[in-house]
Structure 1
Amino acid sequence: MDQTVFVINPGSTSTKIAVYRDKKRIFSESIPLEISGEEKNAGLEETLRIKKEAISRSLESQGIDLRGFDCIMSRGGVLRPMESGIYRINESMHSEVTASAASGHASGFGLLIAGEMADSLGIPAYIADPVTVDELEDIARITGIKEIRRRSIFHALNQKAVARQHAAILGVPYEELNLIAAHLGGGITIGLHKQGRVTDVNNALDGEGPFTPERSGALPAAAVADLCFSGKYTREETVKLFAGKGGFMSHLGSNDLLKVKEMIAAGDRDADLVYRAFVYNIAKAIGAMAAAGDGMIDGILITGGIARWKELVAAIRAKVSWIAPVSSYPGEFELEALRDAGLRVLRGDEIPREY
């Protein structure tokens, strides 16, 4: 009997939804963040209402009966550190993720919406591989300040999905490979997948790693301290410089890489320099993960929306292919990963965990 899985995947600019009947996608849509501009200054409850109504309108416009869903899958929010896997959405999870959703972290909204929809329909709802999957080795947590320890927050869902997809293509179990996965998007995370576990990864949410279209990435600590105590910016304005107005936005005034490509093609030397620095920093971070993996790397995987820029991927490949073969998986595979997780639970192939 066919199983129907409804998938919700909220991001910083849109909420992606899809309905699958077994592996077949029967409907999908990307709903823009600002439906009519009213979300801009809305609180948590109002934002949830707006998003839920937009999802309902989208499904109704296609004549999709919600009562036909067997389960709902969502991307997870900022939760406590947890093992990779599938988790049933429950009340403790709901309470904990509310704080991160209220602060604007997009991934939390999907969990809240999925839980409420599933309760009203009397069906189960789950998350899989949330951003707080934590498999770091203890040695990777230590920093030069005793009070500060590194956290594992990254694109776990897409990195794991791409790594498993690559392993399937090779015909080798994911748990037998050492891979470096680089997710390139509005945020960039580069993880070392050592025999099925992400033992090291930069935390883009806290500012680690390469700069991105709109994030500053790692910065010299003393310069950051000077900036914070300069009196020029409030705390909120400073945080916005790091995430929202950093990276390409800071240098070139745009986070649209299509515009950046046009600037380079038109002979803009500043744009070309920032682009080459972008490639340089990504390659340097991949090299660091190769060292963390003792050089025993079976493959380097480039994924995320920016991986559609073929010239950029080629430039990264030219700098790191001496480490291991480089494979490109452009785009994001989060919808498919959530679908597959839902099907595994519905078919009894995997038992969901309790949070």
Structure 2
Amino acid sequence: MSDMLLIINPGSTSTKIGVFEGERELFQETLRHSSEEIEKYETIFDQIDFRKDIIINILKEKNFDLKTLSAVVGRGGMLKPMESGTYKVNDTMIEDLKIGIQGQHASNLGGILANKIAGELNIPSFIVDPVVVDELEEVARISGVPELPRVSKFHALNQKAVAKRYSKESGVKYSDLNLIVVHMGGGVSVGAHRNGRVIDVNNALDGEGPFSPERAGTVPVGELIRMCYSGKHSEKEIYGKIVGKGGYVAYLNTNDARDVLKLAEEGNKKAILCLDAFIYQVSKSVGEMSTVLHGKIDGIILTGGIAYSEKVVSELKKRIGWIGEIIVYPGEDELLALAQGALRVLTGEEEAREYK
């Protein structure tokens, strides 16, 4: 019998869980939380028992025996910069997740919830490839302003998962490949993977790189500074223009790429221009990363929800197909990616890393 895993992926107003037997998903549930429920809690950490009880209750409703679990895996949060891999949750990690050492985010609850449930069962708890995975080369950190080094915050979980999937399917070790991975979802991250490490990538969390459904992307810095000091906007409002209310939201009042595609198909000129600009900017970022890899590209992987769009994929192929072979893995199966990370440790393929 394969290892049985409980996977926990917390969002701001939901908690997605899944139960896996090996890589086979037995079931998954998205547990929705109303704004009234969430607003009762002063901090994200205060939500722990509330979310844990909901998880346990739904498992009981499904008559699932928690004692059959081999491990519990949580989505990694805003921890210190770290190497890619699967990490066993320890006290140092729990403390950093509690205080939000790099910011408060619902994903910080993943490791804490996993540890709390696993601790009661006397089994291990893990996190896998959080957004703060940092494998940048030193030259990639230089921004031009010493006080503002470039940082690595991106869709590490999905980028690593699809890179390893391609490695397995192509029969070439991940550590022997040069790949460009393009994650296209609410945010966009374009990573240069060389020999198993993401040596350069845009800070997708803070909106750097191509614009996206709800990120502004890299914007004109001078104009941004003048906007900040105009006296018309608070810091929160400015950040909202970059993250959350930028991109498609700002131009078309929707963060759903499907809406933009539909409007474009109907002939909406603004939607057509925004879609073209999105493809244009993503293509430029791929070209940029191709220079990081000296033009030696084994494959360009398109992934994330927007990769389901035949229109976007076909237009990207026209612009970047000359750089390398295009591979499309649409969507982002985060629950499976988390399960696979834990299985690599439980089966002895990898060693669990220690968070310090």
Q: Which TM-score band (shorter chain)?
A: over 0.9
In structure 2, C-alpha distance between the alignment counterparts of 1:342 and 1:236, rounded to whole Å: 37
Q: Deviations over 1:320-354 (max 9, x none)?
A: 00000111100113222221222232233322121
In structure 1, C-alpha distance between the alignment counterparts of 2:315 and 2:14, rounded to whole Å: 29
CA contact (8 A) 1:162 1:333 kept: no
Q: Deviations over 1:151-175 (max 9, x none)?
A: 1111111101100111111111111
In structure 2, C-alpha distance between the alignment counterparts of 1:39 and 1:103, rounded to whole Å: 18
Q: Tell me whether 1:287 sits opposite 2:287 in the alignment.
A: yes
CA contact (8 A) 1:101 1:108 kept: no
- Structure 1 runs (4+) deviating above 6 angstroms are none
In structure 1, C-alpha distance between the alignment counterparts of 2:282 and 2:45, rounded to whole Å: 38
Q: Aligned residue for 1:68?
A: 68
Q: Aligned residue for 1:24?
A: 24
Three-state SS of the structure 1 residue aligned to 2:300 is: strand
Residue identity matched to 1:154: F
In structure 2, C-alpha distance between the alignment counterparts of 1:297 and 1:171, rounded to whole Å: 16
Identical aligned pairs, as a percentage?
A: 43
In structure 2, C-alpha distance between the alignment counterparts of 1:185 and 1:221, rounded to whole Å: 24
Q: How far does residue 228 in structure 1 lie from its aligned partner after superposition?
A: 0.6
Residues 261 and 50 of structure 1: CA distance in aligned 2, closer, same or farther (over 3 Å): farther
CA contact (8 A) 1:178 1:192 kept: yes
In structure 2, C-alpha distance between the alignment counterparts of 1:40 and 1:212, rounded to whole Å: 28
Which aligned pairs between 1:247-258 and structure 2 lie closer than 5 A?
A: 247-258=247-258
Q: Aligned residue for 1:332?
A: 332
Structure 1 residues 181-190 or 253-262, which shifts more? 253-262
Q: Aligned residue for 1:188?
A: 188
Q: Aligned residue for 2:347?
A: 347
Three-state SS of the structure 2 residue aligned to 1:278 is: helix
Residue identity matched to 2:114: A
Residues 102 and 62 of structure 1: CA distance in aligned 2, closer, same or farther (over 3 Å): farther
In structure 2, C-alpha distance between the alignment counterparts of 1:295 and 1:154, rounded to whole Å: 23
Q: How far does residue 98 in structure 1 lie from its aligned partner after superposition?
A: 2.0
Residue identity matched to 1:285: S
Residues 21 and 304 of structure 1: CA distance in aligned 2, closer, same or farther (over 3 Å): same
CA contact (8 A) 2:345 2:352 kept: yes
In structure 2, C-alpha distance between the alignment counterparts of 1:51 and 1:111, rounded to whole Å: 13
In structure 2, C-alpha distance between the alignment counterparts of 1:269 and 1:232, rounded to whole Å: 30
Q: TM-score, normalised by structure 1?
A: 0.95
Q: Aligned residue for 1:39?
A: 38
Q: Aligned residue for 1:3?
A: 3
Q: Aligned residue for 1:266?
A: 266
CA contact (8 A) 1:215 1:242 kept: yes
In structure 2, C-alpha distance between the alignment counterparts of 1:126 and 1:141, rounded to whole Å: 29
Q: TM-score, normalised by structure 2?
A: 0.94
Residue identity matched to 1:321: G
CA contact (8 A) 2:78 2:103 kept: no
Residues 245 and 153 of structure 1: CA distance in aligned 2, closer, same or farther (over 3 Å): same
Q: Aligned residue for 1:173?
A: 173
In structure 2, C-alpha distance between the alignment counterparts of 1:169 and 1:311, rounded to whole Å: 25
**Two-structure CA RMSD over aligned residues (Å):** 1.8
- Give the gaps of 5 or more residues in structure 1: none
- Give the gaps of 5 or more residues in structure 2: none
CA contact (8 A) 1:82 1:132 kept: yes
Three-state SS of the structure 1 residue aligned to 2:338 is: helix
Q: How far does residue 13 in structure 1 lie from its aligned partner after superposition?
A: 5.8
Q: How far does residue 85 in structure 1 lie from its aligned partner after superposition?
A: 1.4
Residue identity matched to 2:111: L
